Amino acid sequence: MYSLSLLDKSPIPEGQNASSAFRDTVNLAKRAEELGYRRFWVAEHHNSPELGGSAPEALVAWILAKTSHIRVGSGGVMLQHYSPYKVAEVFNVLASLAPGRVDLGIGKTPGGLPLATSALQQAYDPTRKPDFETAFAQLEGFLSGPAPDEEQRAGLAATPKPPVAAEKFLLGASPESARLAAVNGWNFVFAGHLNGDPEVLRNSLETFRTVSGGKSAILALSALAANDPAQAAAQVAHQRIFRVFLSNGKAFNLGRREQAEEFARQSGDTDYRIEERKPNVLHGTAADIHARLHSFASEYGIEEFIIEPPHVGADQRLASIELLATHRLSAAA
């Protein structure tokens, strides 16, 4: 039987503010704990009027204080913006506050538009800013202990040293990300809610399993359960992803066409294109969704799913996670 975990992005309801969004997220985390979910993760998005979570490490600390045993973590911290040393310190503090309950998930995307990225990285000397793989290796080094061999950082430790280290996850959607996670000894989460290509999924999971010596990756999916499958379908019917393809070959997913156009404008790119796509959201009854999860588990050897409820109302998200958990428990019985 596979485990279920949750990812929440703290969507801000129309006409309300981030305080309402965070209350909804905390209520979701408390109920997830009661229902037996394994983990509860929060995301990082910048300069976004629709999403509250710009500082996942702060929200993780608050949720840890409001719950008692569920694992809580980031899904994920966008490492490109930060000093690996500081990220290691922050999560060592969190892991010291709540030993055995903290997850450190690292993401590769910017989590915002170019102006936000520029503001986050303005203290960097561009000539000294490491690429992602270098920063990732540095983070792993700081989490593992003092740097033993680099002359400039020999003996430098990310303190405090927690009694139980944070569990480490790399979030990605490619075989390259899977390989990077495995080589560095991290867990890998395939972002199936962002990339639903079955061939990329298969190659990524096989790469991680092979390079890691047989470990199973985690699969993240978006799902909404309802007692009436037509109701679930109606709730997700309007949702869209707008993928902007820049002239330099890079591509990014945005929630609205206006955001995609603004992303290109802030990048200084006039030769771009935008594709409108329907997000890959599992929807239907709890039995329908679990049938799909069983299929993924059987085909790919998945032992844990991280479920992101789509951006519907707080009551609908709560009802969905209750239905999924209740059905799983009744099926197990």
Distances in Å between the alpha carbon of 313 and those of 180, 235, 236?
36, 9, 11
Please tell me the predicted confidence (pLDDT) of residue 311: 87
**What is d(CA 113, CA 217) in angstroms, rounded to the nearest whole number?**
29
- Per-residue pLDDT of 39-93, as tens digits, reads 999 999 999 989 999 999 999 999 999 999 999 999 999 999 999 999 999 999 9
Please tell me the predicted confidence (pLDDT) of residue 110: 86
302 half-sphere exposure, CB direction, 13 A CA radius: 28
Residue type, 96: S
Please tell me the predicted confidence (pLDDT) of residue 147: 55
CA-based torsion, 51, 254, 195, 324: positive or negative: positive
**What is d(CA 104, CA 90) in angstroms, rounded to the nearest whole number?**
10
**What is d(CA 321, CA 308) in angstroms, rounded to the nearest whole number?**
10
Q: Which residues contact 211 (CB under 8 A, 6 or more apart)?
A: 178, 179, 182, 183
- Per-residue pLDDT of 130-144, as tens digits, reads 999 999 999 999 998
User: pTM for the whole thing?
Assistant: 0.93
% residues pLDDT > 90 (the chain): 78
**What is d(CA 205, CA 189) in angstroms, rounded to the nearest whole number?**
9
**What is d(CA 213, CA 190) in angstroms, rounded to the nearest whole number?**
17
Hey, what's the torsion of the CAs at 205, 209, 214, 216, to 10 degrees?
A: -30
Please tell me the predicted confidence (pLDDT) of residue 57: 96
Give the residue from 218, 203, 263 showing the smallest Cα distance to 76. Answer: 218
Q: Which residues contact 290 (CB under 8 A, 6 or more apart)?
A: 324, 327, 328, 331
Please tell me the predicted confidence (pLDDT) of residue 329: 62
- Per-residue pLDDT of 239-278, as tens digits, reads 888 999 999 999 888 888 999 999 999 999 999 999 998 8
Cβ 79 vs Cβ 105: under 8 Å: no
Query: Any long-range contacts for 172-176 (C-beta under 8 Å, 24+ apart)?
Result: 172/108, 172/204, 173/200, 173/204, 174/200, 174/204, 175/200, 175/203, 175/204, 175/207
**Beta strand 273-277 with 241-245: parallel, antiparallel or unpaired?**
antiparallel
Six-digit token string for 16: 């309300």
**What is d(CA 201, CA 219) in angstroms, rounded to the nearest whole number?**
9
Helix 18-35 vs helix 314-332: angle between axes, to the nearest 10 degrees?
A: 10
156 vs 23, more confident: 23
- Greatest mean pLDDT among 73-82, 143-152, 322-331 lies in 73-82
- Per-residue pLDDT of 179-216, as tens digits, reads 999 999 999 999 998 777 889 999 999 999 999 999 99
Please tell me the predicted confidence (pLDDT) of residue 220: 97
**What is d(CA 96, CA 61) in angstroms, rounded to the nearest whole number?**
11
166 vs 146, more confident: 166
CA angle 245-247-249, nearest 5°? 65
Six-digit token string for 320: 């969905």
pLDDT bucket at 151, cuts 50 / 70 / 90: very low
Q: Say which DSSP state 146 is in.
A: S
Six-digit token string for 294: 């069983």
